[in-house]
Structure 1
Amino acid sequence: MSLPIPRFHEDARSGQLYLERTAEVADEARRYVAEHGVRPAREDRVRIAAFGIDVQVAFCTPGASLFVPGAVEDTQRTLRWLYSHLNRVTELVFSLDTHRIFQIFHPAWWKDAEGRHPAPMTQVSVADVRSGRWRATRFPEESLEYCERLEAQARYVLTIWPYHALLGGLSHALVPAFYEASVFHALARDTATHFELKGEHPLTENYSVLMPEVTEVKGQRVGEFNTRLFERLMTFDRLYVFGQAKSHCVLSTLRDLREHIERTDRSKMGRVHILVDAMSPVPAPPLEPLPPSLDFPRLADEAIEELRRAGMRVVRTTEPLDV
C-alpha cells in the first residue's frame, strides 16, 4: 500500500532554491512514523536502495549553468515515488558532482592563440591540441595525452562544459526538495543517507559515479574504479537508479555497473532498475549538421535499450513496487 506525501512537501517547490526546513521535516517524520507505523530500515526483509545520480542544483534547477530540461518534472515524479514507497526503500544514495574552476573540461583550462577561452559545448580533439588551435593553460603534455586516451576509448570527445557544480557554490548542493527527502527518510527509517563525491581530480572527467573517463595520464594515477561503492550497491536486493543527465552521468554509471556486474556476478544484473521517467538527456546543441556524437537524446535512448537487453530492468515511477 502506498504511503501519503508528507505535509511539508509541495510539488511546486521541486525546482526552487530555498533553505532546507530541517526542523519542520523532523517534526513531520516523528508524526508520520507514529501515524503510519513506519519501521526502521534494518528490519527490511527485501533491501532496496534508491540511487540518485547528481540531483544537484547545477542540473535540476532552472537558471543553473547546466540545467537539464525536464529535470524539474523528473524531481517531482521521483519524490512522489520515494515518499509513497518510503517504508520499502532501505537506503538513499546520492552522488555529488564536485568541481573547481581549473578542470580539464572547463573553459579556463584552454585558450586559443589570441588568449580566448573556448565556449561551452566546444569539442577539443587531439588534432585541435596538436595544431595549437587549443592550448592547455596548465599541464600541456598531460592534457594532450588525456585527449589521446579519451579518443582511443571512442566513448566521448572532450567537451567543454559551462562552469558547474563548483565546490562551495550553491550549484553544488543537492536540490533542496531532495535534501529534505533525505532528512525525512533518514529520520523516519532510522538510517543515514549515503553521499558520494565525484569529479574532483583536475585531469580527468568523471561522468560515471563509479569511474573516471581516464584513470592514468603521463604515469600519474588520476582515478580508479570505486570498488567500495560498487560493492555497497550490490548488497541490495534492488537498486533503483534516477538522476541527471540521462545521456551523461546516469548513462556512464549504468554502463560501469553493467560491465562490473558481468565481471563479478552476472546474476545480479536484474537487481538494477532504471527509473526511466526520472531522468532527462542533455539537449543536442543547435548545430547543422549535428555531429552524431552530440545527439545526446538519441544516444541515451539507444543505450538504455541496450542495457535493458543486457538484463537491467527499465521501469517507471508509476509502476507498483511489489515487495
Structure 2
Amino acid sequence: MSLPLPSFYDDARVGSLYLERAARVTDEARRYAREHGVRPAREDRLRIAAFGIDAQVAFCQPEASLFVPGAVEDSQRTLRWLYRNLDRITGLVFSMDTHRVFQIFHPGWWQGPDGQPPPPLTVITPADVRSGRWRATRHPEESLAYCERLEATGRYVLTVWPYHALLGGLSHALLPAMMEASLFHALVRDTPTHIIQKGEEALTENYSVFSPEVTEVSGRTVGRFDQALFDHLLTFDRVYVFGQAKSHCVLSTLMDLKRRIEETDRSKMGRIHILEDAMSPVPAPPLDPLPPGLDFPRVANEALRALQEAGMKVVRTTDPIEG
C-alpha cells in the first residue's frame, strides 16, 4: 500500500523556483514517520536506491537555459513515486552537473574569424578547428586534440551548450521540490542523501556521472571512472534511475553502468531499473538534413531498447515496487 503525499507537496509548484522550506519539511518528516510507522532505512531487508541524474534547475525549470521539454512532468511523476514509496526507498543518490564559464563546451571557449562566440547548439568538429572556422580562445592544441579524441570515440561530436549549471548560480541547485524530497526522505528514513558533483574539468564534456567523454588529452589526465560511486550503487539490491536528459547524461551514465557491470558481474545487470517516464530527451536541433547522431530522441529510444536487451529493467513510476 502506497504512502500519502506530505501536506507541503504541491504538484503545481514542481517547476517553480523557491527557497526550500527546511523547517516545515523537517517538522512534518518526524510526524510523518511516527504516524505511518516508517522504519529507518538501515532496517530494510530489500535495499533500494533512487538514483537521480542532474535533477537540477538547469534542466528542470522552464526558464533555465538548458530546460529539457517534459522535465517538469517527469519531476512530478518522480516526486509522487518517491513519496508514495518512501518506506521502500533505502537511499537517495543525486548527481549534480557542475560547470564554470570557461569550459570547452561553453561559448566563451571558442571564437569565429569575426571574433564572435558560436551560438548554442553549434557542432564543432576537428575539421572546423583545423580550418579556422572555430578557434579556441585558450589551450588551442589541447582543444584540437580533444575534438579528435572525442570524434574517435564515435559517441558524440562536440556541442556548444548555453551556459548552464554554473557553480554558485541558481541553475546549479537541485530543483527546489526535489531538494525538499531529499530532505524529507533523509529525516523520515534517518539516512543522509548521497550527492556527488561532476563536470568541472575544463577540457572535456562529462555527460556520464561516472566518467567524462575523454579521460586523457595530450598526455594530461582529465578524468577517470568513479569507482567509488559504482561500488556504492551496487551495494543496493535495486537501483531506480531517473533524471535529465534521457539522451545525454542519463544515457551516458547508463551506458557506463552497463559496461562496468559487464566487466565485473553480469548477474547484477537486472538490478538497474530505468524509470522511462521520469526522463526526457533533448530535442533534435533544427537542421535539415538532420545528422543521425543529432536526432537525440531517436538515439535515446534506441539505446534504451539496447539496455533492456542487455538485462536492465525498463519500468514506469506507476509500476508497483515488488519484493
Matched with 2:265 is 265
Q: How does 1:53-72 map to 2 (within 5 A)?
A: 53-72=53-72
Q: Distance between the aligned counterparts of 1:243 and 1:87, measured in 2?
A: 21
1:286 Cα deviation from its structure 2 partner: 1.4
3-state SS of paired residue (1:280): coil
Q: Over aligned residues, Cα RMSD in angstroms?
A: 0.4
Matched with 2:178 is 178
Matched with 2:318 is 318
1:31 Cα deviation from its structure 2 partner: 1.1
Q: Distance between the aligned counterparts of 1:307 and 1:138, measured in 2?
A: 38
1:132 Cα deviation from its structure 2 partner: 0.7
3-state SS of paired residue (1:282): coil
| Cα deviation code 1:287-313 (max 9, x no counterpart) | 111111110000000000000000000
Letter in 1 for 2:188: A
Query: Structure 1: where are the runs of 5+ without partners?
Result: none
Matched with 1:163 is 163
Q: How does 1:232-271 map to 2 (within 5 A)?
A: 232-271=232-271
1:12 corresponds to 2:12: yes
3-state SS of paired residue (2:92): strand
| Cα deviation code 1:266-321 (max 9, x no counterpart) | 00000000000000000011111111111000000000000000000000000000
Letter in 2 for 1:77: R
1:113 Cα deviation from its structure 2 partner: 1.2
1:87 corresponds to 2:75: no
Q: Distance between the aligned counterparts of 2:285 and 2:126, measured in 1?
A: 21
What's the % identity of the aligned pairs?
73
Q: How does 1:1-323 map to 2 (within 5 A)?
A: 1-323=1-323
Q: Distance between the aligned counterparts of 1:121 and 1:286, measured in 2?
A: 10
Q: Distance between the aligned counterparts of 2:137 and 2:206, measured in 1?
A: 20
Letter in 2 for 1:246: K
Q: Distance between the aligned counterparts of 1:30 and 1:189, measured in 2?
A: 10
| Cα deviation code 1:1-40 (max 9, x no counterpart) | 1000001100001100000000000111011011100000
Q: Distance between the aligned counterparts of 1:256 and 1:288, measured in 2?
A: 31
Output the TM-score relative to the length of structure 1: 1.00
Output the TM-score relative to the length of structure 2: 1.00
Letter in 2 for 1:292: P
3-state SS of paired residue (2:162): coil
3-state SS of paired residue (2:96): strand
| Cα deviation code 1:153-211 (max 9, x no counterpart) | 11000000000000000000000000000000000000000001000000000000000
Q: Distance between the aligned counterparts of 2:214 and 2:287, measured in 1?
A: 28
| Cα deviation code 1:38-91 (max 9, x no counterpart) | 000000000000000000000000010000000000000000000000001000
Q: Distance between the aligned counterparts of 1:270 and 1:188, measured in 2?
A: 28
1:145 Cα deviation from its structure 2 partner: 0.3
3-state SS of paired residue (1:27): helix
Q: Distance between the aligned counterparts of 2:13 and 2:28, measured in 1?
A: 17
Q: Distance between the aligned counterparts of 1:285 and 1:136, measured in 2?
A: 23
Question: How many residues get paired?
Answer: 323
Letter in 1 for 2:304: I
3-state SS of paired residue (2:128): helix
Q: Distance between the aligned counterparts of 2:89 and 2:211, measured in 1?
A: 25
Letter in 2 for 1:306: A
